[in-house]
Amino acid sequence: MAAPRRDTRGIVDAAELFARVDFRRREPAEPLRRYVELYWLIDWDLSEPYVSHVVPHPAVNVVFQRFEGREPFIEVAGIQLDLFTQKLEGHGRVCGIKFRPGGFRPFAPERPVTEWTGRRVFTPEVFPDTDPATILTPDVEDARIAALDAFLLDLAPRPDPQADLATTLVDRIRTDRTIRRVTDFARSEGMSVRLLQRLFAAYVGVGPKWVILRYRIHEALERAERDREVDWAALAADLGYADQAHLIRDFTTTVGVPPTAYAQGVH
């Protein structure tokens, strides 16, 4: 499996986030890498509130959180369909587990991943026998990583070929820009559209069309972060949009501002 990503895809105004908080990515233990893409760790000590925004990936996250003035808690965040917003203030700590698309189902095999989509489910409904302080308290980061590994390994996930297939298919969409239509993609994989959609519903949590569109927006957001002047018409064509107007509409709906205004703002 690939190492944790080092890009900023999905993070709105990544430079501002990294200036405000201490953000790191770490690898899970080797037996967990078929299920988990990375651990993400955030610590902050802010003199004034800060609101972070993320265009979510097609991934479930389990997050251990400690906010000033609150008891530590655990959250299962299914795939969020809209812009994800989180207010941070005072000081606090987060230790998150980002599952690979398809990778969460082996840890919760009793229900399809669509049942988590759009939801944020908190302690004690999830993992009532787990004390989040065991993850959040150690001052040494390696100890927190070891505690995350132990937490997941204790859940004893069983390998599931369908989960592996879902992971492979989503990764193919992410890396292959020529994949633009669900019907063509299903045909290339020797599957019917209905079978592909059922697999994604059960193991990913969103449909293949949503994944294709979301990775387009991630690419556009990354380009806007990197380049002050973007040829939006050329990028729209490269991403498979019929025209620039469709890209602008999707970007504005997802991020909240038009891409040109966003690019000017971050630079």
Long-range contacts of 249-253 (CB under 8 A, 24+ apart): 250/213, 250/216, 250/217, 251/217, 251/220, 251/221
C-alpha 239/C-alpha 210 separation (Å) is 14
Note whether 145 and 38 are same-domain residues. Answer: yes
Note whether 132 and 37 are same-domain residues. Answer: yes
pTM: 0.92
Name the token pair of 145: 């990583």
Name the token pair of 153: 């390994």
Point out the residues of the chain with pLDDT beneath 50. Answer: none
- DSSP 8-state code for residue 192: -
Note whether 143 and 24 are same-domain residues. Answer: yes
- Residue-range definition of the domain harbouring residue 227: 161-266
The fraction of the chain above a pLDDT of 90, given in percent, is 83
N-term to C-term CA, the chain: 34
Residue 141's SS3 state is helix
Does residue 108 form part of some domain? yes
In the prediction, which pLDDT does 202 show? Answer: 98
Number of domains in the chain: 2
In the prediction, which pLDDT does 242 show? Answer: 86
pLDDT, tens digit (0-9, with 9 covering 90-100), for 207-262: 999 999 999 999 999 888 888 788 999 999 988 898 999 999 999 999 989 998 88
Does residue 1 form part of some domain? no
Note whether 150 and 183 are same-domain residues. Answer: no
Residue 11, C-beta contacts closer than 8 angstroms, at least 6 positions apart: 17, 52, 53, 54, 55
